[in-house]
Amino acid sequence: MHRPRMTVTGARVRLTEAGWDTDLAYEVIAEPLRPLEDHEVLVRVEACGVCHRDLIDRAGRFPFQTYPITPGHEAAGVVVAVGAAVRAFAPGDRVATMHRDSCGECASCLAGETSLCERSAWVFGILADGGYATHVIAPERALFAVPRALPAAEAAVLHCTFGTAYRDLVTLGGLRAGERVLVTGANGGVGSAAVQIAARLGAEVVAVVRAESHAAALRALGASAVIVAADGRFSEGVGKIDLALDTVGAATFPAALRTLRVGGRIVVVGNILAERVALNLGYIITLGLRIIGGSGATAAEMERLLAMHREAPFAVQIDRVLPLSRADAAQRLVRAGGLRGRVVLSCSAEE
């Protein structure tokens, strides 16, 4: 089949070395598009979220991080061209990226657990160029369909926030209506999404935060109770919890574990750091607790989440939108903290 050779005109951001001494580079590009492999899709990026994980990538915490690379795993945009074997998408379709692709053939993939694919090698921002760019090439299995009506900034961040929370609560956590759910780091991207999803599914939600200033907003999002605990000690007086979602890590995990009822479940997500916590194994054994690790959602989970979002829109919290050329400043803003929602890079925002 004859396909005309396209020239990609746009820009991309490059991470050239680990750390914060060198700014991310912003490069204007006008180069011929390499021929797409059979299962690849070329996407014109509209927006890309700046995630806390991008900072971990930049710091070089993953031993398999490659350089130079275009950061970003939260891109949303429009399909421009597809490889010969692509079936899921066609030019003009709206799509967004998941964290990585999946092979479709390993035991995890055959079980529908594509985000646990054992052979996935296309990891945006770490092993493959990501979404801090006007264009991204992605295997079709690393993309999910997004409705046209969704604002680009929302579409970009939905997978890593609401998708992750949905998978953790529903698929991994087995959340049922009427259960009591505890969410730590409830003001964060995954946390505030989890509060909304759990409340929507009929759970009684206990939100844990470090500062009182978040309490009113979390109640408005559906939390029945908000516990302010600056020191990570909050297990007293919470009452028995069926399912906990710990989005913080070592600072909150021990207390979150202590809140669980006999047979309770806790899903840990978020900070991929070299943190250690001490566990009393006897406590876990005698109470029959389940500790589960969570990460990004599958395309099927995104479809279910998007159906809920269509039915009654969730509050997707975006602190600000910056132009792609300000990617370095955007990462430094996220690093400084104190934001109310995500920072998103836009390919159409004013310079």
Query: By the criterion CB under 5 A, which residues form the site for Zn ion?
Result: 51, 53, 102-103, 106, 109, 117, 160
Identify whether the C-beta of residue 328 lies closer than 8 Å to the C-beta of residue 14: no
In the complex, what is the shortest distance from the CB of residue 46 to Zn ion, in angstroms, rounded to a whole number? 17
**Between 33 and 103, CB nearer to Zn ion:** 103
**Between 69 and 160, CB nearer to Zn ion:** 160
**Between 258 and 319, CB nearer to Zn ion:** 319
Q: Please state whether beta strands 143-145 and 180-184 pair in parallel, antiparallel, or not at all (unpaired).
A: unpaired
Instruction: Kindly give, in sequence order, each residue whose CB lies less than 8 Å from that of residue 298, ignoring residues fewer than 6 positions away.
Output: 98, 112, 113, 114, 115, 167
In the complex, what is the shortest distance from the CB of residue 54 to Zn ion, in angstroms, rounded to a whole number? 7
**Between 56 and 80, CB nearer to Zn ion:** 56
Q: Please state whether beta strands 204-209 and 180-184 pair in parallel, antiparallel, or not at all (unpaired).
A: parallel
**Between 54 and 242, CB nearer to Zn ion:** 54
In the complex, what is the shortest distance from the CB of residue 126 to Zn ion, in angstroms, rounded to a whole number? 12
Cα(233)–Cα(211) distance, integer angstroms: 13
116 phi/psi in degrees, rounded to 5: -110, 20
Measure Cα distances from 262 to 151, 243, 255 in Å.
43, 11, 15
**Between 103 and 145, CB nearer to Zn ion:** 103
Please state, as a whole number, how many other Cβ atoms lie within 10 Å of the Cβ of residue 188: 22
DSSP 8-state class, residue 221: T
Q: Which neighbouring-strand residues pair with 7?
A: 32
In the complex, what is the shortest distance from the CB of residue 236 to Zn ion, in angstroms, rounded to a whole number? 33
In the complex, what is the shortest distance from the CB of residue 113 to Zn ion, in angstroms, rounded to a whole number? 9
Q: What angle do CA 219, 225, 228 make, to 5 degrees?
A: 95
36 alpha carbon, distance to own chain's centre = 26
In the complex, what is the shortest distance from the CB of residue 224 to Zn ion, in angstroms, rounded to a whole number? 28
Cα(317)–Cα(233) distance, integer angstroms: 27
**Between 134 and 161, CB nearer to Zn ion:** 161
Can the peptide bond before residue 68 be classed as cis, meaning omega within 30 degrees of 0? Answer: yes
In the complex, what is the shortest distance from the CB of residue 164 to Zn ion, in angstroms, rounded to a whole number? 8
Q: In which residue are the tokens 């961040």 written?
A: 157
In the complex, what is the shortest distance from the CB of residue 241 to Zn ion, in angstroms, rounded to a whole number? 26
Please state, as a whole number, how many other Cβ atoms lie within 10 Å of the Cβ of residue 292: 16
**Between 57 and 246, CB nearer to Zn ion:** 57
DSSP 8-state class, residue 59: T
**Between 111 and 307, CB nearer to Zn ion:** 111
In the complex, what is the shortest distance from the CB of residue 235 to Zn ion, in angstroms, rounded to a whole number? 29
AA identity, residue 199: A
